[in-house]
Amino acid sequence: MDKPGKARKPVQKRGKETRAKLLESAKALFVEKGYYKTNGNEIAAHAGLATGTFYRYFNNKKDILIQLVQQFYQQGLEHAVPIMGTVFSGSDDGRKIIRALLQAHYAFHMEQKELHKAAFPLMFLEEDIMELSRQEDQKVIDVIAAIFNVNKDLLFVEDLQAAAELTYRTCEAITHCLMLRSEHSGKESLIGELEEMLFKYLFTESSSSAP
């Protein structure tokens, strides 16, 4: 059973590397065994560290799960925002913009597929993880809304915050469908139809090059 610790935030390079090693081991074990069947002692052993080392950096396994969820969202933003910013600033082609968003979103989720499959159910089982996910989702939506606002002359919609949330939620739903159901056929067709739907919702006809 996990015991509470007095975690510290590492400052030195070695401490940061140790913490990163524990995060990677936790990710591997959560994927392999599941969150509920993993404890801090096992995470430390998997990382080749003493049990006490785990509790110097994390209070318990819930703490490390929270860090992994936050890391997942942060990496997702780091992956997608530069792509979106580049495309928006250099193109007036609405379909190209939507395609870049969908491709970046899907590619990142596929890179983190196993972790996502292990952590996703916890959003419905653990209230604090559900709340954390809600907060992190909102950060992503706010970033999309900010990108939309900078390029609002290209957009047909007026409520950019609502448009950002609808875009994000729709991308999430379709990505989860494709990612969690490996037997799903017609992926390209589904993404293509989503691209067309979002284009028609977001952009005026004048913002698109002829198909």
Complete DSSP assignment for the chain? -----------SHHHHHHHHHHHHHHHHHHHHH-GGG--HHHHHHHTT--HHHHHHH-SSHHHHHHHHHHHHHHHHHHHHHHHHHHHHHH---HHHHHHHHHHHHHHHHHHTHHHHHHHTTHHHH-HHHHHHHHHHHHHHHHHHHHHHHHTGGGBS-S-HHHHHHHHHHHHHHHHHHHHH-TT---HHHHHHHHHHHHHHHHB-GGGS---
Question: What residues pair up with 155 in beta bridges, in sequence order?
Answer: 203
- In this predicted structure, what is the pLDDT of residue 207? 45
Return the number of other C-beta atoms located less than 10 Å from residue 157's C-beta: 16
Sorted by where each starts, the structural domains of the chain and their CATH numbers stand as 13-59 (1.10.10.60), 65-206 (1.10.357.10)
Residue 108: band (very low, low, confident or very high) from pLDDT cuts 50, 70, 90: confident
Across the range 178-200, mean pLDDT stands at: 80
- In this predicted structure, what is the pLDDT of residue 25? 95
Across the range 79-87, mean pLDDT stands at: 67
Residues in contact with 51: Cβ distance below 8 Å, sequence separation at least 6, in sequence order: 40, 41, 44, 45
Residue 1: band (very low, low, confident or very high) from pLDDT cuts 50, 70, 90: very low
Chain mean pLDDT for the chain: 83
Residue 84: band (very low, low, confident or very high) from pLDDT cuts 50, 70, 90: low
149 is written with which tokens?
A: 């606002």
| Cα distance between residue 196 and residue 211, in whole Å | 11
Annotate 101-161 with three-state secondary structure: HHHHHHHHHHHCHHHHHHHCCHHHHCHHHHHHHHHHHHHHHHHHHHHHHHCHHHECCCCHH
Task: Look up the pTM and report it.
Answer: 0.80
CA-wise closest residue to 162 among 202, 133, 131, 114: 202
Query: Is 89 exposed, middle or buried (CB count within 10 Å of its CB: 0-12, 13-18, 19+)?
Result: exposed
| Cα distance between residue 135 and residue 144, in whole Å | 15
Across the range 4-11, mean pLDDT stands at: 62
124 is written with which tokens?
A: 């419905």
